[in-house]
Chain A
């Protein structure tokens, strides 16, 4: 079985701080990580490989050359092959252009039985590239997977909903997006770390000329959407501090609640 896992290297947005004076993000020193949901997608692929060693797991990413690190980490966890789409022309891509570029790479690779993505990336939180890629490849999709059962070339997926889940059935090939409920991602292992570090070039890098794509269909140029402006959401309000002991502060606050009709007088 051939499985493709799409991953993204992202800044750890949990570590980003905002300069409240200037309203700008402080990105310095913010670590780059594999997008957390993507690790669950990879873990599922590797579980299938554990069960059937003939399974071939390819990880694919688009980003600057620095994203090689993320792909190497995937190889060290047990993936078989890693491809990075990296080209100046790919820069500034929105989700449409990203999916378009990924789809061109998928078409160049062998056909896949299963494509796995994380539900969403923590830098954009859009959850769009997975479904957009599935549409480009003309295969069905199941998003928000919290459990997957694979049997005889078909899948049964528990698709997480706001108030429970749906059990969804489909035949392969299919694209599934993984939530963190799906599994617990493994760590890198010594055997693969050694193997990866003995390889000359563990990550293949493809540019625009390697893909059957028009320059106008990728990157900023190929993106239907544009960022018109960005700004800090930092709220500002006049805060009124109460002072004194815990009891005194509590009494002042309760007085304010009464004035605001939040509690009965």
Chain B
């Protein structure tokens, strides 16, 4: 299996037998990395009954798929997954390994990197290859998103990074050929099974998934209290959008943290992002500055949010937002009658 040597590997995390969206996002981005390194792109999938789903990985550009299909891999546990991945890495020596920065990915990545005595860069938001050295360039936010840092891991292998979900856009590779599938047997030992999942509780989220929203109306400290979000919800309803928040509003307890946008919250890339009463701390901008159109409504004309915005409205959001709602509603009526 020469073509797995020095390859770019993507760990394909599955839950309940379905690969996570971040896997396709990373595969899409990793195609360019593999091309620059002049090597193969390989997906690594563990699970029970996962063999039947591998075509989806090929459709996003995986040329080789290493698969371990066994009952002990049905749900992620640290010891089992670390053992299997470490053994495969010893066997095939990939140049690069990407893991989605999910809760499981951030549990697995450091455990594995420590076992392999290699470097790991957390939660990357941009990836590239240094044309001179061939080093992987891993860029991530630091200091609460106040600074971006490009990290290299030049002397140890594989070069490892966890990649933030929602940062890259997943795009299937047109005309992708079928992948070469290699079944790898489980190398798990009894000492790897020291934690046991008793049960899994899915909390039916009342919260919409803000990372999938086309239009987001977000509120910050300027809302003053939780009821301010009712006003934003009204505007969001008029636009067919979703409400989100800055860390200040979440920390104040005004809204559920599932709706937090920013470095410690979620990364969103909607068509339209309307920031209401958000000053625009860098850590917030880190989560939304890739939105296609950004509107800022703020009383303070010097607020940093205006530096990131395309449209600026300097004014009291408690006047501007109701005005928007009123006009949008009256036009809606106008088109219907």
A interface residue numbers (CB < 8 A to B):
11, 13-14, 16-18, 20, 25, 94-96, 99, 122-132, 134-136, 140-144, 156, 159-171, 223-242, 246-247, 249-251, 253-254, 256-257, 260, 262-264
B143 lies within 8 A of A13 (CB): yes
Among the listed A17, A170, A171, A226, which residue makes an inter-chain contact with B153, where contact means beta carbons less than 8 Å apart? A226
Nearest 6 Cβ contacts at the A-B interface? A13-B144, A224-B119, A250-B323, A135-B114, A225-B119, A246-B319
Interface centre among B117, B120, B263 (most CB of A within 10 A): B120
Residues of A within 8 A of B323 (CB): 246-247, 249-250
What is the CB-to-nearest-CB distance from A114 to chain B, in angstroms, rounded to a whole number?
Answer: 14
A143 touches B195 (CB 8 A): no
Interface SS of chain B: helix, strand, loop or mixed?
mixed
Q: Which residue of A lies closest to B157 (CB)?
A: A224
24 pairs across A/B with beta carbons < 8 Å? A25-B146, A96-B113, A96-B119, A134-B111, A142-B195, A143-B106, A160-B103, A163-B202, A164-B201, A165-B200, A167-B200, A168-B197, A168-B198, A169-B197, A225-B151, A232-B146, A235-B285, A236-B308, A237-B294, A239-B309, A240-B312, A246-B320, A260-B293, A262-B239
Q: How far is the CB of B284 from chain A (nearest CB, A)?
A: 11
- Interface centre among B143, B313, B315, by most A CB within 10 Å? B143
B212 interfacial by beta-carbon distance below 8 Å: no
Q: Once bound together, how far apart are the Cα atoms of A191 and B257, in whole Å?
A: 37
Distance, CA A132 to CA B79, complexed state (A): 13
A166-B107 CB under 8 A given contacts A13-B144, A96-B120, A249-B315: no
At the interface, yes or no: B230 with Cβ under 8 Å from chain A?
Answer: no
Select A239's contact among B79, B120, B205, B312, beta carbons within 8 Å.
B312
For B78, give its contact among A94, A129, A141, A224 (CB under 8 Å). Answer: A141
The answer to whether B114 and A99 have CB atoms under 8 Å apart is yes
Contact status of A233 and B286, CB under 8 A, knowing A168-B198, A250-B320, A251-B327: yes
Contacts of A256 in B (CB 8 A): 311
List residues of B whose CB falls within 8 A of some A CB.
78-79, 82, 102-103, 106-107, 109-111, 113-115, 117-123, 137, 141-156, 194-203, 205, 215, 239, 247, 263-264, 271-272, 282-283, 285-286, 289, 293-296, 304, 306-316, 319-320, 322-324, 326-328, 331, 335
Measured between beta carbons, the chain A residues less than 8 angstroms from B264 are 122, 125
Per a CB cutoff under 8 Å, which of B147, B200, B322 touches A164?
B200
A242 to B315, CA, bound (A): 10
Cα distance, A171 to B193, chains bound together (Å): 11
Interface contacts beyond A124-B122, A132-B113, A237-B310: sample of 10 additional A-B pairs, CB < 8 Å, sorted by A: A17-B146, A125-B123, A127-B106, A167-B200, A171-B194, A239-B309, A246-B316, A246-B320, A262-B271, A262-B272
Least CB distance from B257 to A in Å reads 10
